[in-house]
Structure 1
Amino acid sequence: MTVRVTLISPATSEALREVRFDHDSPLDPAGLAAAEAAAGAFGTDGQAYASPGLRCRQTARALGLAAEPLADLATCDMGRWRGQRLEAVAAAEEEAVTAWLTDPTAAPHGGESLRDTRMRVGAWLDALPDGAGRVVAVVEPDVVRTAVVHVLSAPDHAFWRLDVRPLTATELSGRAQRWNVQGGRPVQPTAALG
């Protein structure tokens, strides 16, 4: 039986606009309004999850999803870089940022490597039973990217070649390591999807 997973990236936040390693920041007013405008886009049937991060939980709530926060779907732990702007970290730790951008096993920030994040998210996907039905999860863009890399059995460095825009849906359908991907659909109310 086919498993259908919809990964929704959260709406905008100040950290996103500032290109800052998120530190559990809330949605900005425009992001909250956009998510509220899309309420009902996914109905209420099926299982709903969210990354434990604030903006994911707020997006899920604004979309009308009773989403269970799930640690397996947390954003990559950025360690001591959390809350800092990428530009500032790159200026202060150029070699460390280069290592992080080029080596998926590197975690110069003292947190989690991208490979570790991919393995965690992949394990969650692989554990979904064939009869899971429809699964919706509001997760950070890095989780969407690692999930796509995992289901396509792509090399780790493909992570950096995937763009995930705010408030978009990436659909995964399949099972037993045979997945299809449809990405980047804007989240809109159900009536608008007709």
Structure 2
Amino acid sequence: MTTRVMLVSPAFDDALRAVRFPAGEPLTPGGLRRARAARAAAAALPADRALTSPSARCRETAEALGLRAVPAPGAAGGAMGRWRGLALEDVMADEPAAVAAWLSDADSAPHGGETLAQLLGRVADWLAGLAAEGGRIVAVVEPDVVRASVVCALGAPPSSFWRVDVPPLAVTVLSGRDGRWNVRVAGELGREAATGAP
């Protein structure tokens, strides 16, 4: 049976705008407006069920899109430990060696949170669970979960994680069976994605 997972990244919040490690921020008023404006496009997604990362910005995005999404703990964003809520620029200035290690070694977690390898493993397990259940799923998930999903689906090396850009309200579609995924970037929900169902 083919499984189709439509990953939607959250609309803007203050952490995305300020390039900070997220700390549970809600959507900005502009982000909320953009998500509500994409509601018709979200309603057109061919999904049997909806899921969301547990964060406030993902839950609020799902709600603004009109999705009755169930929290998916396996799709939580990476745990950033003591860097949570800090600006990347500040962390780079204060701990350049730690940031370099985090960016270059998938098994490094100088912040005391989750390593990239752990995030990739958790997301791979989450995708495997979705594939076992089958069906068509729309999931509003953290940008790092989208990146990890693409890396896992392609069987790419962990370093590829840092090469995947995920803008707000981007739709990335994974489809496949028997543990083999195909990846398609469908564009931004409400814009490119609205011109053809992903």
- TM-score tier, shorter chain, comes to over 0.9
| CA shift for structure 1 position 184 | 5.0
CA contact (8 A) 2:131 2:179 kept: no
SS in 2 for 1:128: helix
> What stretches of structure 2 of length at least 5 have no aligned partner?
none
Return the letter of the residue paired with 2:32.
Answer: L
Q: Which residue of 2 aligns with 1:11?
A: 11
Alpha carbons of structure 1 residues 184 and 23: separation in structure 2 relative to 1, 3 Å: farther
**1:24-60, Cα deviation, whole Å (9 max, x unpaired):** 0011111100000011323385111111000000000
SS in 2 for 1:117: helix
CA contact (8 A) 1:165 1:184 kept: no
Alpha carbons of structure 1 residues 38 and 98: separation in structure 2 relative to 1, 3 Å: same
| TM-score normalized with structure 1 length | 0.95
Task: Name which of 49, 52, 61 aligns with 1:50.
Answer: 52
> What stretches of structure 1 of length at least 5 have no aligned partner?
none
Within a 5 Å distance, the mapping from 1:110-149 to structure 2 comes to 110-129=112-131, 132-149=134-151
Q: Which residue of 2 aligns with 1:21?
A: 21
Distance in 2 of aligned mates of 1:70 and 1:101: 26
Q: Which residue of 2 aligns with 1:155?
A: 157
Between 1:8-17 and 1:44-53, the stretch displaced more is: 44-53
SS in 2 for 1:42: helix
CA contact (8 A) 2:102 2:110 kept: yes
Distance in 1 of aligned mates of 2:157 and 2:192: 35
| TM-score normalized with structure 2 length | 0.93
Q: Which residue of 1 aligns with 2:36?
A: 36
Return the letter of the residue paired with 1:18.
Answer: A
Runs (4 or more) in structure 1 with deviation over 3 Å come to 189-192
| CA shift for structure 1 position 137 | 0.6
Between 1:111-120 and 1:130-139, the stretch displaced more is: 130-139
| CA shift for structure 1 position 190 | 11
CA RMSD of aligned residues (A): 1.8
Alpha carbons of structure 1 residues 63 and 98: separation in structure 2 relative to 1, 3 Å: same
Bigger fraction of residues in helix: 2
Q: Which residue of 2 aligns with 1:92?
A: 94
Between 1:121-130 and 1:142-151, the stretch displaced more is: 121-130
Q: Determine what percentage of the aligned residue pairs are the same residue.
A: 53
